[in-house]
Each structure stands twice: as structure tokens, then as C-alpha cells.
Amino acid sequence: MKLKGQKVAVCGGGGFIGGHLVKYLLENGVEVVRAVDVKPLDEWYQVTPGIENLVLDLKEKEHCYTAAKGVQGIFQLAADMGGMGFIENNKALCMLSVLTTTHMLLAARDSGVERFFYSSSACVYNGEKQKNPEVTPLKEEDAYPALPEDGYGWEKLFSERMCRHFEEDFGMVCRVARYHNVYGPYGTWAGGREKAPAAICRKVIEAKASAKHEIEIWGDGKQTRSFMYIDDCTKGTVAITESDIDYPINLGSSELVTINQLVDIVEEIAGVKLERRYKLDAPKGVNGRNSDNTKIKQELGWEPSIRLKDGMAKTYEWIESQMLVGAHK
């Protein structure tokens, strides 16, 4: 099913990825009927004029029926989440997102929605496979036997299964992508929900502006990750939604770096060298995580390919502009 010319709703449309997705869909001829988010409109990351921008709590069932009305496609990105500092300290809150996805699936089924996209996460993967920074890239089947990130990862894995069973039992077409560390402009960069790329940009900018040329790094800096730039995320999301891929598939970059290397990249962008202080008792997540892109290359003939140093340069520039005007996202 091609989405061009179709009517869709984006749940979580006031969030970082959702805001970018709304714009990408419109640019590619998809009619975004509405964006829905629990946050007040002035807290949305991006607000796109000309569509319905609804402030609704999608944990409430009746609001999901409002969101699903009159559309052929739904993108379900709405969830309580953030970086490791947030998800390690708000496990119950993260798990309550299961209400949103449950009610959105019911509303989509009852409203005759033709395509349902669910944004899952690399946090569904078995923690035993992520103990070594020299990580073997995670294949889709590595989610089982199940030992996901406590709280947030369990909710994502459960919701993946629910999508599968709605497809099996009710004939709904569900597509699921496992996002790996999405970053870019218009993302959270302060306040406790920010992820590593934005947090490091902010810390480097702060250190550069002060006389104290040092940076605090959570963990020992040797933990490894891959980071996907937002433009790859939106492109991959739409391609997966339109595809025949009827199983949860990785959507992430396979460019593996240590957190120390991520700091190196940002220091180079900023033109500074900072003394590093390691906060070993801070939340740092698993020791190593990377995306195995074998399946997405087989299925789509494509994989996320925007280089980390290029995406980080754009992200750094945007965060710096926000800090200069005194914004607090």
C-alpha cells in the first residue's frame, strides 16, 4: 500500500520524531489529517499548520477513537519515554504506555484503518546479548528469549506482540520498526529526558562557554551505541509502513561508536578539548548495542546511512541556536 494520497493520523505528533514525521509525510504527498499529543500545544516540538493538532491523552480509550476517525493509516508513536536517565527511573510510567497502544489498536480495528505502524525500540532486545561493548550487532530474532530493558523494554515487546495478534486475529495490517537511538534537531536536549547525542552537545556548548573546560560523562565512556539521524528515521518509517514486512524489523544505523568517540566528534565540531569526568554511578544502560541491518537491506534495498559526524554537526548547530535564545527543550 502506497501512502501517497491517503489520509493518516500521527499519534505522538507533538514529539520529536512525530513532528518530523508529520512534515515528511506532507512533503511526500500523504494527507496528514491530524496530529495528536498529550502535551499542551506550546510544548510540542513542532506544530504544523493546516492540519488538526489535537491535545488528547491517548491512554483514554475515547480519545483514541477521535484520533482514528476517517483515516486509512495510523502512526502510533505516542509513549512516555526519554533517555536512560528517564526510563531507568520511571518504569511504571513507561509501562503505562501500553494503554495508549491497546486503545489505539482497538480504535484502528473498529474504524477500519488499513495500515497501523507501531514504533518499537531496540530496548526490546535481550540484555544478556548487550553486556560487552564489543557487541555483535543485534538481529531481529535476538529479542527472544525475552529479557528486555526493565519497564520500557517490556512494554515495547508486549505491544509488538499485540500488533502481531491483532494482525492474526482481526486481519489488521500492522508494521513494527525497532528504533535505535534517534537524534537530530528539534529533539529534547535538557530537562532529564534527553538522550546521549543531545546531552553531550549541550554539555560541550556549556563547557565551551564557561571557563571550566570539563565534561561529565555517564558511565566509563566505553559503552557502545549506534545513533540514527532523524531523516533516516522518517524515511525508514514510511518505507516499512508501505512494505510487506510483517515482523518487527530493525531501523537503526550500523555505525558503532563508544560514548567517548561520540564526545570526540562533538569536541571536533565545537573546536574544543575538554577534561572528562566519569560518573560511574549514573544510568548508562547496556554496555553495547548495535543494529544488524541485514534484513532491512534485504527487504528494502536500503539502510540508514547518514554519517554520525554529519548528523551531529546539524544537531549541535540547532542546540547551540536554542541555547543562545534561552529556550528550554
In DSSP notation, 21-55 reads HHHHHHHTT-EEEEEEESS-GGG-S---TTSEEEE
Residue with cell 564526545: 263
Query: Which of these, 29, 30, 10, lies nearest to 20 by C-alpha position?
Result: 10
Contact partners, residue 55, CB within 8 Å, separation at least 6: 14, 36, 37, 38, 39, 40, 41
User: So which residues are the catalytic ones?
Assistant: 152
From residue 27, give the alpha-carbon distance in Å to each of 21, 88, 236, 304, 305.
Answer: 10, 36, 15, 19, 21
Contact partners, residue 248, CB within 8 Å, separation at least 6: 120, 124, 140, 143, 160, 176, 177, 178
Cα(116)–Cα(166) distance, rounded to whole angstroms? 10
Cα(217)–Cα(176) distance, rounded to whole angstroms? 33
Residue with cell 489529517: 33
Cα(223)–Cα(78) distance, rounded to whole angstroms? 28
